[in-house]
Chain A
């Protein structure tokens, strides 16, 4: 909490300073190019600071920002956040981009470099102008007086550098000569999960210790395992329905992992019930029912599992019940 109040305070102060500065400069002579530039960067900076470091652009604002001469570099994110575009990577990268931009707002000298973001909804003209047909992408525009290559050839390569803020910050720093540091806010949920995990581990050890261990830890391991790869949870299919099962043998989604984990849990559970629960039932009729239910569940879930496997590997020849 202290973190955000401090940011707020900083923002307000900076905005105030920027406002005062810009108003005092209006009185001065405007013919001076340096002053124009100074004014421009100051107002942009104020705009950026207000919005945690990112200047939201549309086609008009883009041209304004890009207008020559300019003495600052600019990293512009071309994105499509709206749900109608179904751009999962855009949604993934957005917070990371903002993280880097907020790292920028901690810099002592903010005049070298600015961050802008342009959504397809309001910036179609610019997308067309640059021949962009995929999002997200980030272009780096150096100052107008520098001898530089076409910004199109210097785009941030997601497949190589990845989606993390850290690598993006490195990319920006290498180009703009800035020293932006990424400070991730503490993720309370993740922290809680970790703390809980430690407690669960201690609890498990305690359970083993007291021999009351009925937890089969490996069952839970499955769900943990899938998280290693950090996969997308689900993905929108072509027809707009969410897809649960990733096509292809080596891919899997978060939800798919959970489905499979539940299947495994049920299968293991029915085996355990056949071994551990059924022989403890005194009533023969009840016992018979328990056996049939467990075994039925076992066979049914096994068939479901095989079916799911066949989605992934269509040439698999075996089936159980269906």
Chain B
């Protein structure tokens, strides 16, 4: 085939492959819909879904000014000012566009399918990004890797309607635009970077990663002596426009000028201005004068800025780093200071198995790709190196941040993989010719690509005379840089076959992981019966539906905060605390009500107008994520605020064990949570009950309740709802009244 027709075929093939990759990316995220149904998953997505519904129904301004009196009762929540609105606005926009063209798609389906759709776009932007780093074939590989990598799928399956679903696309695309901007030095691409940065800020708190990585890249380039007008134009445009835009999001507000997380970006912005100014001055004064000027200038600027920053931090104008940020650097910090952060499992450090599970072979191709970036080391490769180093660190500290690592792993693994393919698929006669040419002209040793890149590279100032001639004598003396083709067809074959096989394995692995681990909606549980047939446990929705249909419209339901969003979204009732966790005291109050005795808890419940209490109880079916297992966190958080009324030590037996059976401590047995969980549990089994989660044989005489009455227990007892009794008509205390009624 001639080169011309090859390139024509490539022109047709590339879009086709990209479209296929997008289809695969979307398809592999649909397991949960096929197995279950088109529902919103988990916890946070329910809030996003509820706000999106509000946005679609009431319009943008109403959404912006929405005060939600149904959550955090009696405090309420200013929703418009405390959300990242990006995802809601995106799906409302899609919904409205579709309706404009008379496609009557339900907003739920838009929300459910949003993340898979965006994953197709993410794959495309990975293609663009990698194309800037190597070539389009590596780009296609990167797109395919990122399309199916479980590390990204974990957050973007259909129904997982969360910020990360669109944020990863924005992250990769912003980085692509940034690299493009640095390469071309065009203000247009700088502006585009800023615009997508703004979109990212509106969508996810992880935008801080961009805010720090891009300045770091610029700073590193300056340190490497690669300051250029391209860098100056792109960064200045990006920073100025991006920062102004990001401040338009109410939740972000003035943070970019006040918090330490954003200071690096500001500092680098200032540095670049100074550097550019110095470059300008250099053009007008003699080198000797310039040296003196420079020394004095750098020293004074450094001292002044450090002093100012310290003063601002000390006086509190610039806020210190936030707690979640601290826990990135000091993993012990959260455990000691903020139990609510430590209690969230996705803020835990990562084990190596998670890396393998989420990235399989990419995880060891990744360093090879980084190594290749070191060898090329153009401006954009520096970016990938920095990105990989920092993302690896953060992913190691917090499981959740695996998500930011995945794109760079895919990109650099694709670079390594496609270099492998290039090396072993190269047509031998072509290579032979080039190697012969190389042999004939030893001064021009390196292959065309390497030499092309090195000549394009900006030469570090002042180093020109020493560094430039060095590599050449070295390479001609040792023959190190000379590259030969792969001579034997068998060595080509073994490499290509194995690599292809690894690709198959990778695809299987990804499908296995996606289907097995990341496609569970978690509001619907599936288990297998002994005969292998599937059993669906739908207790959550059953109970929420019961609440929706059987309670007053303004009923207040107390539960642990994990279920707040789901209850608000599905049952449409008023909750006391939810997954927003902005008010630790309020959460601690709920924890206290759960952890204290009926006599203490009852006035507390009355004062908060609680009508119902909802708990999750897994002992019947062995669901280990139930409230008794979370109870320790409730106690801990409550103890943090009410140290005199709740004491964790009282919940442990004298041997330091957490027991729920005969050996349970008195405090444990008297606590509201214990009573609600095991109320009439023993009766289910005729007094011979076994807690399947904790493997404990329960006392035959269960706890009794006097201030609450059982209102509803779902099919498998997974959700139990209790009604808080009204004070007694005759003025007796409720304990006596209950005893009398018996």
Report A's interface with B, CB cutoff 8 A.
Answer: 133-134, 137, 152-153, 155, 157-160, 205, 208-211, 213-219, 221-222, 224-226, 228-229, 249-252, 256-257, 260, 264, 267-268, 271-272, 274-276, 278-282, 284, 287-288, 291-292, 295, 298-299, 302, 305, 309, 312-313, 316-318, 320
Contacts and interface: CB of A to CB of B under 8 A. Distances in A.
B498 interface: yes
B86 to A, nearest CB: 31
Given A249-B351, A291-B486, A267 B498 contact: no
A157 B512 contact: no
Contact of A279 (B353, B397, B485): B485
Contact of A280 (B396, B484, B505): B484
Contacts, number: 161
A305 to B, nearest CB: 7
B452 interface: no
Contacts of B648: 160
B224 interface: yes
Contacts of B488: 284, 287-288, 291
Contacts of A309: 353, 356-357
Nearest to B413: A271
B494 A250 contact: no
B353 A267 contact: no
B367 to A, nearest CB: 4
B212 to A, nearest CB: 18
B416 A313 contact: no
Interface string B370-406: 1110110100001001001100110011000000000
A292 B484 contact: no
Contact of B224 (A208, A268, A271, A316): A208
Contact of B487 (A137, A155, A214, A284): A284
27 contacts: A157-B652, A205-B223, A211-B377, A216-B367, A216-B371, A218-B370, A219-B367, A221-B393, A221-B396, A225-B393, A251-B351, A274-B424, A275-B420, A278-B423, A280-B480, A280-B483, A280-B484, A282-B482, A284-B487, A287-B487, A291-B488, A291-B494, A295-B495, A299-B498, A305-B356, A309-B356, A320-B505
Interface string B349-369: 111111011000101111110
A262 B348 CA distance: 24
Nearest to A269: B368
A288 B353 contact: no
Contacts of A284: 487-488
Contact of B495 (A210, A274, A305): A274
Contacts of B385: 208, 217
Contacts of A276: 375
Contacts of B348: 250
Interface residues of B, number: 66
Contact of A288 (B479, B491, B654): B491
Contact of B484 (A226, A260, A287): A287
Contact of A274 (B423, B485, B655): B423
A249 B353 contact: yes
Interface of B: 223-224, 331, 348-354, 356-357, 361, 363-368, 370-372, 374-375, 377, 382, 385, 388-389, 392-393, 396-397, 416, 419-420, 423-424, 460, 467, 479-488, 490-491, 494-495, 498, 502, 505, 508-509, 512, 648-649, 652, 654-656
A134 B389 contact: no
A252 B352 contact: yes
Nearest to A263: B364
Contact of A318 (B396, B495, B505): B505
| Most chain B CB neighbours (cut-off 10 Å) among A210, A217, A226, A252 | A217
Contact of B364 (A137, A209, A267, A291): A267
B423 A275 contact: yes
B486 A278 contact: yes
A221 B349 contact: no
Contacts of A211: 377
A208 B374 contact: yes
A208 B385 CA distance: 10
Contacts of A317: 512
A312 B353 contact: yes
Given A250-B351, A313-B353, A271 B364 contact: yes
A276 B374 CA distance: 13
Contact of B649 (A152, A157, A218, A250): A157
A275 B372 contact: yes
B219 to A, nearest CB: 12
Contact of B396 (A158, A208, A228, A251): A228
A165 to B, nearest CB: 14
Contact of A229 (B331, B357, B364): B331
Contact of B389 (A157, A158, A221): A221
Nearest to B482: A280
B388 A282 contact: no
Contacts of A320: 505
Contacts of B374: 208, 213-216
Contact of A218 (B352, B392, B460, B498): B392
B739 to A, nearest CB: 31
For the complex of A and B, 9 pairs with smallest distance between CB atoms: A225-B396, A291-B491, A284-B487, A267-B364, A271-B368, A213-B374, A268-B367, A216-B367, A216-B371
Given A282-B484, A291-B495, A216 B364 contact: no
A268 B352 contact: no
A264 B486 contact: no
Nearest to A275: B419
Given A157-B656, A281-B484, A209 B224 contact: yes
Contacts of B371: 214, 216, 268, 272
Contacts of A137: 656
Given A228-B397, A252-B352, A275-B416, A288 B656 contact: no
B275 to A, nearest CB: 17
A286 B594 CA distance: 73
Contact of A208 (B377, B482, B649): B377
A157 B354 CA distance: 31
B356 A218 contact: no
B508 A318 contact: yes
B344 to A, nearest CB: 15
Given A271-B364, A279-B483, 19 more contacts: A134-B656, A157-B652, A160-B648, A217-B389, A218-B367, A218-B389, A225-B392, A225-B393, A226-B352, A257-B352, A260-B352, A264-B367, A271-B365, A274-B424, A276-B375, A278-B486, A278-B491, A284-B488, A309-B356
